[in-house]
Amino acid sequence: MATPLKIIMIASECVPYAKTGGLGDVVGALPKALKQMGHDVRIIIPKYASVDARKFGLKPFHSPMGVWMGGVEEWCSADEALTEEGVPVYFIEHQGFFGREGIYNNSRHEDYLDNSRRFAFLTRAALQLCIDRNIEADIVHVHDWPTAPAAAYLKTWFWNSNVLGQAASVLTIHNIGHQGKYGRDQYGYTGLGWEHFTADKFEDLGNINFLKGGIHFADMVTTVSPSYAEETRNTELGAGLSAYLRVKGDAYTGILNGVDYNEWNPETDPFIPARFSAANLEGKAICKAALQQHFGLEVNPNIPVFGVVSRFASQKGLDLLYPAIHTVLKEMAAQFVILGSGEKDLEYKFMQLPAQYPGKVGSFIGYNNELSHWIEAGSDFFLMPSRYEPCGLNQMYSLRYGALPIVHATGGLIDSVEQYDEYDGAGNGFLFWDAGPKSIHNTIGWAVSTYYDRKHHMAKMIQYAMGQRFSWERSAGEYLKVYEQALQRRRQLVR
Ligand code: ADP
């Protein structure tokens, strides 16, 4: 192995302590894989009110700690715990900022009005903790807008620190739709200096843009799939930041997330009615029958089941799937099972569907982890009509469970789903290029005809899909290359 690196991850989420989405999964899984490869990794996150201090064995680590923000000194402390794999996690405790029910918003889904202060403080406090406790770093790896300013702090405030002065910064973008835009009146508190409030750094049409500033200052910027990197660089999916990503050149790249196969493995899954493997698919037939029965569908092994597990948000394209389900059911023998929650209008529509198509559609509105495993295990196909998808996890789970994914060709879906070839049965799923009800209808039709008419191709694709692995070890190897590049860039910059 190359020389072990000292890596600090600073983030607003980390599984199992605090999670709202994929960011939390990555910050939970990547350090584990890096540690197994012999690197020294430490994680710094807030101590939210929701973090169960007793369950996770938090202990006092550093107190009191004074953190200078623009013109004010904030006082806080830090606790410490170890993950199951022995990775140290430091929790920044600040009752005023983090002692609340939610991570970014309250229970009415309203963003906290002081989020710019909360996360600028988190970032500054995390770096201060390293200085105070002499925690040296080769790499400071930050995630999305909340901790993006670390890249700037490192180059402006801590550039001559003994502890952090040599550290290179890596910023990972999990979803460029969230940039951390706030009024310029919030800028002073960050302490970043008005010379950096310019259009190429933190300024965005007169306001602050945390992510944009982070992109400018980070030695390397990554996102969660190679295709999403291209889309954000070159299309409207860059959400206004394409030009700034293009400027980064080779310093912007995409790395596909890995899957936690301890949790998503049909051979050991404790949630599903029967276990199965590529070599023995009998259990999958049992899972399909149980799924059909649970959702009140006709229990019939010869009708293809299409599964959906999703947030109901415009990004996920379920409003495009909804009309396609109606047209498909007019023409074809197929069944649909939908699990999800989110936008009220879609919740209502999908809640009504089983009554309109008795025995053909089942739905559950809500969040239910066990049911999501049932759907992966019991479905023949898995639908993801996302308008955009930075990485996506469900398509990788469904490959492992032999539920062939049917996906819009975007982002991480392009990088994990390979188009079925009707000539020889190659591929692992079905891609469509135009996200609209008509192409969704046609692609489902293609899958249905494959299911009925080309069973040998179905069998071949299922074998291939179930044998594929999108492991964290592979992703961690890619991140290590990025860390090396970041260090090289940083060395050229050190004053
Ligand atoms: P995103 O992070 O954008 O929501 P991903 O496909 O990357 O999309 O990951 C979604 C994760 O959340 C998956 O693990 C999926 O199984 C889970 N999930 C989403 N909605 C539900 C739900 N209603 N019930 C259970 N799990 C869900």
For the chain, what are the domain ranges?
6-258+473-494, 282-469
pLDDT score for 305: 98
Structure confidence by residue, pLDDT tens digits, 65-109: 999 999 899 999 999 999 999 999 999 999 999 999 899 999 888
User: Running DSSP on this structure, what letter comes out for residue 240?
Assistant: T
Pocket test for ligand 1, best of 23, 261, 372 (most atoms within 8 A of CB): 372
Contacts of 322 (CB under 8 A, 6+ apart): 346, 349, 350, 437
22 lines ligand 1 (CB under 6 A): yes
Mean pLDDT over 420-446 rounds to: 97
Structure confidence by residue, pLDDT tens digits, 42-69: 999 999 999 999 999 999 999 999 999 9
Structure confidence by residue, pLDDT tens digits, 360-376: 999 999 989 999 999 99
368 lines ligand 1 (CB under 6 A): yes
User: Running DSSP on this structure, what letter comes out for residue 186?
Assistant: G
Mean pLDDT over 1-20 rounds to: 92
Name the CATH superfamily housing domain 282-469: Glycogen Phosphorylase B; (3.40.50.2000)
- Using DSSP's 3-state secondary structure scheme, residue 308 falls into strand
A 10 A CB-CB count for 345 gives 11
Closest atom of ligand 1 to CA, residue 391? 7
Alpha helix ranges (H) inside 66-185: 95-98, 115-132, 144-147, 150-156
Closest atom of ligand 1 to CA, residue 341? 23
Mean pLDDT over 202-208 rounds to: 97
Q: Which amino acid is at 460?
A: K
Centre of ligand 1 from the C-alpha of residue 409, in Å: 19
Instruction: Evaluate whether 76 touches 92 at the Cβ level (below 8 Å).
Output: yes
Alpha helix ranges (H) inside 210-252: 210-217, 226-234, 242-247
Contacts of 488 (CB under 8 A, 6+ apart): none
Centre of ligand 1 from the C-alpha of residue 367, in Å: 9
Structure confidence by residue, pLDDT tens digits, 265-290: 999 999 999 999 999 999 999 999 99
Centre of ligand 1 from the C-alpha of residue 23, in Å: 12
311 lines ligand 1 (CB under 6 A): yes
Instruction: Evaluate whether 304 touches 450 at the Cβ level (below 8 Å).
Output: no
Is 105 buried (19+), middle (13-18) or exposed (0-12) by CB count in 10 A?
Answer: middle
178 lines ligand 1 (CB under 6 A): no
Fold: same for 6-258+473-494 and 282-469: yes
Round the average pLDDT of the chain to a whole number and report it: 96
Q: Which of these, 223, 219, 199, lies nearest to 209 by C-alpha position?
A: 199
Judged against a pLDDT cut of 60, whether residue 1 lies above it is answered with no
Percent of the chain with pLDDT over 70: 99
Centre of ligand 1 from the C-alpha of residue 316, in Å: 10
How far lies 127's CA from each of 102, 155, 279, in Å? 24, 12, 50
pLDDT score for 495: 40
Q: Which amino acid is at 22?
A: G
Residues, the chain, total? 495
271 lines ligand 1 (CB under 6 A): no
Pocket test for ligand 1, best of 224, 309, 337 (most atoms within 8 A of CB): 309
Centre of ligand 1 from the C-alpha of residue 168, in Å: 32
Contacts of 32 (CB under 8 A, 6+ apart): 83, 85, 87, 472
Structure confidence by residue, pLDDT tens digits, 381-428: 999 999 999 999 999 999 999 999 999 999 999 999 999 999 999 999
Mean pLDDT over 474-478 rounds to: 97
Judged against a pLDDT cut of 60, whether residue 494 lies above it is answered with no
Report residue 295 as tokens: 């959702």
3-class DSSP string for 320-387? HHHHHHHHHHHHCCCEEEEEEEECHHHHHHHHHHHHHCCCCEEEEECCCHHHHHHHHHHCCEEEECCC
Say which CATH architecture domain 6-258+473-494 belongs to.
3-Layer(aba) Sandwich (3.40)
Instruction: Evaluate whether 384 touches 407 at the Cβ level (below 8 Å).
Output: yes
Q: Whose CA is nearest to atom 18 of ligand 1?
A: 310
- Using DSSP's 3-state secondary structure scheme, residue 291 falls into helix
CA-to-CA distance for 196 and 366, rounded, in angstroms?
44
Centre of ligand 1 from the C-alpha of residue 424, in Å: 33
- Of 1-10, 198-207, 310-319, give the lowest mean pLDDT range: 1-10
Closest atom of ligand 1 to CA, residue 366? 23
Percent of the chain with pLDDT over 90: 95
Closest atom of ligand 1 to CA, residue 316? 3
pLDDT score for 375: 98
Report the run of H or E that residue 304 belongs to, with start and end: none
Structure confidence by residue, pLDDT tens digits, 117-131: 999 999 999 999 999
21 lines ligand 1 (CB under 6 A): yes
